[in-house]
Amino acid sequence: MLILEDYLLLTLDDETGKTVVGSASREHVAAGALLVELALLGRVDLAGDGEGGRVGRIVVRDTTPTGNDLLDEALDVVRSKEGSKPKTLVPLLAKRRPAERAVAALAGRGVLRRQPGRILGIFPTTRWPAADSRHEDAVRRLLWRVLVDGGRPDERTAALVGILSATGQAGQALAAGGARGAGPVVEGDERWTLRRRADVDRRAQEVAAGSWGSAALKAYLDEVVAAAVVGATVAATTAAVTSG
C-alpha cells in the first residue's frame, strides 16, 4: 500500500463511505503524499548546497520506475519540472486526481466497495465503504503504538503521521477506529474523549517535529507537506466561494 492509500483509508468512514476531507483539498494532500513516497524510495530529493543554486528545490535522484502507475506518473512530472519548488509541483499533481484514482484502485482490489447514489435524489455521487478493513486496522494499530504508547516510528510511519498532523487528522483517525470497535480501541472506550484526541494530535506534532529520519529527508517532508496543506487550504476556500 502507498502512504497515499493509507491516508485515504484513514479518512474514509468505513460504514458510510463518506470522506471526512473535501474532495478538492484531498487531491492536494494526495499529491504531497506521492512526493513523500518518491523521496522514501530514493527517487527524488531536495537539492542541497553545491547543486547549482537550487537549494530547496526538488531534484530527481533515480529515474528507475517504481512499478506503481501513480508514483511513476508523479516521477515523470517531477522530471519534466525538475528544479521546481514543492508548492509548484503539488498543484500540478493534484490536477491529475491522484486521490480519486487511488480510491477507485482500492475498490478494484477489493479493499473498498463502490456505492453509487444521489444527493437530494438528483445529483449523482459515489461513496466508498470498506469491503476489507484488515490493512486499515493494521495501520491504526501501528499508529496506536506510536501515538498512544509512545513508540518510535519508522520513516514511513513518521511520514504518514506528519501528513495527519499537518492536516489536523491524527486524533480523528485513531478515534474513527475506536468508533467501530476496530484495532486496539473498543467502542465506548472512555479514553476517546475530546481530550484524548487532543493528546494524540499533540503527540503527532511531536513525532512530526522529531528526529525520526535523516535531516535531509525530514527537511524534504516538511517542505512538501507544508506545500500540500497550503494548496489544500486554497482549494477548499476556492470551492467554498464557488459553491456559495
Calculate the average pLDDT of the chain.
85
pTM score = 0.88
**pLDDT exceeds cutoff 80 at 213:** no
Q: What gap in Å lies between CA 161 and CA 168, rounded to an integer?
A: 10
- Predicted confidence at residue 187, as pLDDT, reads 43
- Predicted confidence at residue 21, as pLDDT, reads 73
| Length of the chain, in residues | 244
Residue type, 221: L
7-9-14-19 Cα dihedral, nearest 10 degrees = 50
Q: What gap in Å lies between CA 84 and CA 239, rounded to an integer?
A: 26
pLDDT tens per residue, range 13-26: 888 888 877 777 89
22 and 236 Cβ atoms separated by less than 8 Å = yes
Pick from 38-42, 47-51, 159-163, 180-184: least confident: 180-184
Place of cell 504518514: 160
Q: Would you place residue 121 in the very low, low, confident or very high pLDDT band (cuts 50, 70, 90)? A: low
DSSP 102-115: HHHHHHHTTSB--E
- Predicted confidence at residue 33, as pLDDT, reads 96
- Predicted confidence at residue 178, as pLDDT, reads 47
Pick from 24-28, 99-103, 118-122: least confident: 118-122
Calculate mean pLDDT across residues 85-105: 94
**pLDDT exceeds cutoff 50 at 101:** yes
To the nearest 10 degrees (0 to 180), the angle between helices 69-80 and 23-40 is 80
Using a 10 angstrom Cβ sphere, with 0-12 exposed, 13-18 middle and 19 or more buried, the burial of residue 170 is: buried
Pick from 4-18, 61-75, 97-111: least confident: 4-18
**pLDDT exceeds cutoff 70 at 192:** no
In the chain the domains, ranked by start, together with CATH numbers, are 3-243 (1.10.3630.10)
38 and 44 Cβ atoms separated by less than 8 Å = yes
Q: Would you place residue 50 in the very low, low, confident or very high pLDDT band (cuts 50, 70, 90)? A: low
**pLDDT exceeds cutoff 90 at 161:** yes
